[in-house]
A and B are shown apart, each in its own frame.
Chain A
Amino acid sequence: MADATHDDVGYVPPAEIEEQDLYHAKSWITKYVFCQDAKVIAIQYSITAIAIGLVGLVLSWLMRLQLGFPEAFSFIEPDDYYQFITVHGMIMVIYLLTALFLGGFGNYLIPLMVGARDMVFPFVNMISYWVYLLAVVVLCASFFVPGGPTGAGWTLYPPQAILSGTPGSDGGIILMLVSLALFIVGFTMGGLNYVVTVFQARTRGLSLMRLPLTIWGILTATVLALLAFPALFVGAVMMLLDRILGTSFFMPSIVELGEHLSYGGGSPILFQHLFWFFGHPEVYIVALPAFGIVSDLISVHARRNIFGYRMMVWAIVIIGALSFVVWAHHMYVSGMNPYFGFFFATTTLIIAVPTALKVYNWTLTLWRGDIHLTTPMLFAIGFIVTFVNGGITGLFLGNVAIDVPLSDTMFVVAHFHMVMGVAPALVIFGAIYHWYPKITGRLLDETLGKFHFWVTFLGAYLIYFPMHYLGFVGVPRRYFELGDTQIFDQSVGDLNAFISIVTFIVGFAQLVFFFNLYRSYSKGKEAGPNPWRACSLEWQTAETPPGHGNFGKELPLVYRWPYDFNVPGAKEDFIPQNMSQSEAFPKRKAAAKTSRSRAAKK
């Protein structure tokens, strides 16, 4: 398409990297294992992340077995339970979602969507993956050391994380901290790459405001991660020293089971500040890419431009910036200076405003669209429902006084599963259904996909919506069992059992998904280069799946934003980003121009 315009005025080749030759794989090993091609690295990241994610999923089933049927499974001891929740939480948030969104989708989509041949530093990119893999291996290793993995909760609060009353305080906690430090180092290498690629390697005509929102989400999340992970790193290293060398960064004087320990003077709350200074941005690190991707899914499958693109970009950036000044809303009842409550409650609720605008704009994009209820679209709609629900419960928690009774109860667990476990997971599924044809050349099966969607969406909603009410009753989180108790009557146990059963049904639906992935790889419908008739650059590659160097001989030139669906006067209902005006409006160039400038005035 771009070629057609070459005989126009002097042709300007797009920016390319001059001194750096494209990486060329020489053997099978360098092509599929030690590969520097971002697309392969993306697949490696995704497979590793999903594999470890499955471990997290299995752990969640074990937890639900225990919670739903407390007496029935004697092989789960309290030690085990606390180790399960810790590793489950850690895997899901960091090793699955962060790695999948940034390492997986980031690597695959950034070069393609910005019209680059590859990441700017392919070698560093490769190292980043291997360090990540090492981090995962170290994490898994903690299952096999004496004492098992740490059971301190994914928040790893000292002192309990390193004292003997907590499972895994010998080897587990050390491996956990080392694994986190490795993850951070690996991520920093990858992250620098993503950011520099987006800022520097965009093809000609692709201004920042013409980036797909997916890229905006991933970019902002990467920046957040780069600036937030150091806090976790500092906290992890300091705790390691406390554990190994006996320093007292976070450790006050302590009497443990009648025995005086040689610590003194430190403040455990300092760790909490460091952790949440990382931890809160972290939750947006997994949310922002989801925001971006879902915007693109909705726009493409509703055949309508995304409503309020500029507002969407600003909202992403503002949410990102604000996420650094709300961290202490996780610490309202932590014993920090109580006056902080006013400040952090206010900033926390302010974040709701840009987030709300994003929600409105998604729904407004549906308004007067031409909605194709494909599987990716269904997942996007499921995302809206669960995200709004989970976001709204965040408002309860953010409002400091309300957090007092609800903090550390199942209400919190329900909140963050709805908003982080379910909503972004739905986006991941939607994204896989959406981009699978680009990656493999074949479509996933729609019938299986819809089945997968309905069971996952409705099931997950049934799991987590009622769970909020357990929180109102007062059921604390991280309870191995409720035991003999006066305040929780039988109905609480019934609800827990119900939740567990639904969990297994939802788990079963995931098998269908994997079956779909497997079967469609060889038997799926041929997709062609652009099955969804989308505008952004990754759909305009010469080959599908995209070949070496992504775009064949010449990089695309970008004439427009990626949301030109159903433009009045255009010959088709979408105009690819690299299609020139004269080609898009062949008949009445002049007339088309006025109609577009009318749109521009709005």
Chain B
Amino acid sequence: MATAEGQQHPIGVYLWIWGLLFVLSLFSYLVDYFHLEGMLRWSLILLFMMLKAGFIVAIFMHMKWERLALIYAILLPPVLVMVFVALMVLESDYTHWARETYFVFGA
């Protein structure tokens, strides 16, 4: 709702965020570099990814300066859809893995 200052956010903000994005990417890279494994690896990578996506949507796509309701209306459904899709992908991969491991196909 803060439209008054919203129209003229300083260029500095963009630069800051831009820099931050680089730093975050660096972190993701470091996760790889230090061979972090298992849950830790994936949670870190996901965290950095989410942060980056969040910054991009918030700053570069001007979401930060939108109304709260709009933010929810635009962001919530895709997030939910992504959660559902991710869950179902995990599920089918699990079944697939079980079949590959214990059953023999074809032949």
| Residue from B83, B87, B92 in contact with A267 in the complex, judged by beta carbons closer than 8 Å | B92
What residue of chain B has the Cβ atom nearest to residue A338's Cβ?
A: B94
Cα distance, A273 to B94, chains bound together (Å): 14
What total of chain B residues lie within 8 Å of the partner, measured CB to CB?
A: 9
* Nearest CB of A to B69, in Å: 14
Number of A-B residue pairs having CB atoms within 8 Å of each other in the complex: 19
Cα distance, A273 to B90, chains bound together (Å): 13
| Residue from A324, A325, A336, A343 in contact with B94 in the complex, judged by beta carbons closer than 8 Å | A336
Cβ of A144 under 8 Å from chain B = no
Main DSSP-derived SS at the B contact region: helix
Interface string of A330-351 (1 = CB under 8 A from B): 0000001101100100000000
Cα distance, A93 to B95, chains bound together (Å): 31
Cβ of A269 under 8 Å from chain B = yes
Find out whether the CB atom of A325 lies under 8 angstroms from the CB atom of B95.
no
Q: Which residues of B contact A269 (CB under 8 A)?
A: 91, 95
What total of chain A residues lie within 8 Å of the partner, measured CB to CB?
A: 10
Cβ of B23 under 8 Å from chain A = no
Main DSSP-derived SS at the A contact region: helix
Interface string of A510-532 (1 = CB under 8 A from B): 00000000000000000000000
Find out whether the CB atom of B88 lies under 8 angstroms from the CB atom of A267.
no
* Nearest CB of A to B99, in Å: 9
Q: Which residues of B contact A343 (CB under 8 A)?
A: 87
Cα distance, A314 to B83, chains bound together (Å): 23
Cα distance, A269 to B94, chains bound together (Å): 11
Cα distance, A340 to B95, chains bound together (Å): 13
Cα distance, A273 to B92, chains bound together (Å): 11
Interface string of A248-273 (1 = CB under 8 A from B): 00000000000000000001010001
| Residue from A324, A325, A337 in contact with B91 in the complex, judged by beta carbons closer than 8 Å | A337
Q: Can you list 10 contacts pairing A with B, beta carbon distance less than 8 Å?
A: A267-B92, A267-B95, A273-B91, A324-B80, A325-B80, A336-B91, A337-B90, A339-B90, A340-B87, A340-B90
Q: Which residues on A are within 8 Å of B, measured CB to CB?
A: 267, 269, 273, 324-325, 336-337, 339-340, 343
- A sample of 15 more A-B contacts (CB under 8 A), given A267-B95, A337-B90, A337-B91, is A267-B92, A269-B91, A269-B95, A273-B88, A273-B91, A324-B80, A325-B80, A325-B83, A336-B91, A336-B94, A337-B94, A340-B87, A340-B90, A340-B91, A343-B87
Q: Ordered nearest first, which 10 A-B pairs have the shortest CB separation? A: A337-B94, A337-B91, A267-B95, A337-B90, A336-B91, A269-B95, A269-B91, A273-B91, A340-B87, A273-B88
